[in-house]
Amino acid sequence: MDSLSNFNVFMPTKILFGIDRVSEIADVVFDHGERAMIVTYEDLTGLEKTVERIEALLEEGGIAVTKYTKIKPDPGVEIINKGAELANEDGCQVMIGVGGGSAIDAAKAIGVVAVNGGDAWDYAVCNPDVKKYDTSLPTIAIPTTSGTGSEVTPVAVITNQKIKSKGAMSNPVNIPKTAIVDPELMRTMPPGLTASTGADALGHAMEAYISVKATPFVEPLSLEAIKLIWNNLPIAYREGSNMMARANMAWASTISGMMLVQSGATGNHSLAQALGAHLHIPHGVGVAIGTPVFLEYAKIEAADKYMRIAQKLGMETNVDGFIDNVRQFLKDLGLPTDLKDKADKVDMRALVENAMFNAPAALVNTPREVTHRDMDRIISELF
Ligand SMILES: [Fe+2]
């Protein structure tokens, strides 16, 4: 430590990490109830066997199962509200999110609405009339991608299409009771999804590290997660069945999620959420596009931290060289670096306004102040 500032550590999720840990699901659920809802995707391509197996394991273990397979990427408030209605009709006591961030976030959000009633958007932090709550149904998270970290965070991102905004429910009661992080479930992730979710994990680790709220707990663990991602994501992208790379990515993503809980994301996540709400850009792709741009934006304020990351990655370079290396790393994963092909589809003013509105906490974590004018300039340069 090189300062005497006080800080908190908050990490309440029990993590079962490793190959075939999913086989323990019935025992995990049994601690919370005998009737569970599996929340997963409408399009289960590649996950059919995983969901079938979880359902069978639960039934063998004496757990009654309701399956809610309506989740789409960036789940809308209507889907959450309907899920909550079904959970109450069937008397579900536990939510099990199976999939990427959208499925796990939906499970958390359904648990909130099932217990507290109303509409999912009532609980979004950016809603000026946000309702308070202090209880939810317990959630078990089973990630099948390695990126969002949702399995260990209090955040559930939901989309309100009426006002074209994403927003986050964020409350300690949303934090999953248990996360089963089983790298075997990630084996079938296609390369594009491996790249975009991995870029999200890299964003979480870097943003938590660079955040003005970073603590002596966050700094070494974020650096470790960045190194794991740097060394393993290109391998997982090229050879999906390399289980060492998959396991390292799964662990890096989990650490990155835990770091996000401690010190938060930065303006890059505000931008990524706005790109998702306005242009349907997948979250990880939005994070990848914004990462070098936001590194560039705060390169004077965060120069020392960039150099510490560069050193951890064995780079002998300066701040600009470090940013170029990050840009190239993301490019080599087939991820886009700008949005020039979307220029004719965007309402620039609404996009900028939304980026300033949807995640205010992330904006203030950025080491350099982000004004409306700055966000306008950052976004304009991408198109
Ligand atoms: Fe993210």
| Separation CA 348–CA 343 (nearest Å) | 9
Residue 5 placed within a domain: no
Q: How far is the centre of ligand 1, averaged over its atoms, from the C-alpha of 162 (Å)?
A: 23
31, two tokens: 């601690």
How many CB atoms neighbour CB 191 within 10 A?
Answer: 14
Q: Are residues 114 and 237 in the same domain?
A: no
Q: Are residues 125 and 153 in the same domain?
A: yes
| Separation CA 226–CA 237 (nearest Å) | 16
Q: Are residues 135 and 281 in the same domain?
A: no
pLDDT at 361 over 90: no
173, two tokens: 């009661």
pLDDT at 3 over 80: no
Residue 358's pLDDT is 85
Residue 113's pLDDT is 98
Q: How far is the centre of ligand 1, averaged over its atoms, from the C-alpha of 171 (Å)?
A: 17
Number of domains in the chain: 2
Q: How far is the centre of ligand 1, averaged over its atoms, from the C-alpha of 147 (Å)?
A: 7
Residue 73 placed within a domain: yes
Residue 58 CA neighbour count, 13 Å, CB half: 26
Residue 140 placed within a domain: yes
Q: Are residues 194 and 164 in the same domain?
A: no
Q: How far is the centre of ligand 1, averaged over its atoms, from the C-alpha of 153 (Å)?
A: 11
| Separation CA 297–CA 370 (nearest Å) | 9
Domain stop point among 165, 185, 205: 185
Q: Are residues 162 and 261 in the same domain?
A: no
Residue 359's pLDDT is 84
If you average pLDDT over every residue of the chain, what do you get? 96
Instruction: Please state at what angle helix 372-382 crosses helix 348-357, rounded to 10 degrees.
Output: 130
Question: What DSSP element (H or E) covers 247?
Answer: helix 243-263
What CATH number corresponds to the domain at position 214?
Answer: 1.20.1090.10
CA distance readout (Å), 283 to 166, 224, 342: 11, 23, 16
Q: How far is the centre of ligand 1, averaged over its atoms, from the C-alpha of 62 (Å)?
A: 35
pLDDT, one tens digit per residue, over 20-53 is 999 999 999 999 999 999 999 999 989 999 999 9
Mean pLDDT calculated for residue range 204-215: 97
Q: How far is the centre of ligand 1, averaged over its atoms, from the C-alpha of 60 (Å)?
A: 35
Compute φ and ψ for 123, nearest 5 degrees: -105, 5
Q: How far is the centre of ligand 1, averaged over its atoms, from the C-alpha of 35 (Å)?
A: 31
How many CB atoms neighbour CB 242 within 10 A?
Answer: 16
Beta bridge partners of 97: 39, 141
Residue 9 placed within a domain: no
Q: Are residues 278 and 361 in the same domain?
A: yes
Q: How far is the centre of ligand 1, averaged over its atoms, from the C-alpha of 179 (Å)?
A: 17
Q: How far is the centre of ligand 1, averaged over its atoms, from the C-alpha of 324 (Å)?
A: 21
Q: Are residues 200 and 240 in the same domain?
A: yes
Residue 53's pLDDT is 97
Question: How far, rounded to the nearest angstrom, does the alpha carbon of residue 136 sit from its chain's CA centroid?
Answer: 20
Q: Are residues 83 and 220 in the same domain?
A: no
Mean pLDDT calculated for residue range 92-121: 97
Mean pLDDT calculated for residue range 183-193: 96
Residue 148 placed within a domain: yes
Residue 175 placed within a domain: yes
Q: How far is the centre of ligand 1, averaged over its atoms, from the C-alpha of 34 (Å)?
A: 32
The structure's pTM equals 0.95
Q: How far is the centre of ligand 1, averaged over its atoms, from the C-alpha of 56 (Å)?
A: 31
Domain stop point among 185, 205, 227: 185
Q: Are residues 301 and 233 in the same domain?
A: yes
Residue 80's pLDDT is 98
Q: Are residues 353 and 328 in the same domain?
A: yes
Which residue range forms the structural domain that includes residue 193? Answer: 189-382
Say what percent of the chain tops pLDDT 70.
Answer: 100
Residue 329 placed within a domain: yes
3-state secondary structure of 360: helix
Residue 344's pLDDT is 84
Residue pair 324/293 in contact by the 8 Å Cβ criterion: no
pLDDT, one tens digit per residue, over 135-175 is 999 999 999 999 999 999 999 999 999 998 989 999 999 99
pLDDT at 2 over 80: no
Mean pLDDT calculated for residue range 306-327: 98
Residue 6 placed within a domain: no
What CATH number corresponds to the domain at position 139?
Answer: 3.40.50.1970
Q: Are residues 310 and 214 in the same domain?
A: yes
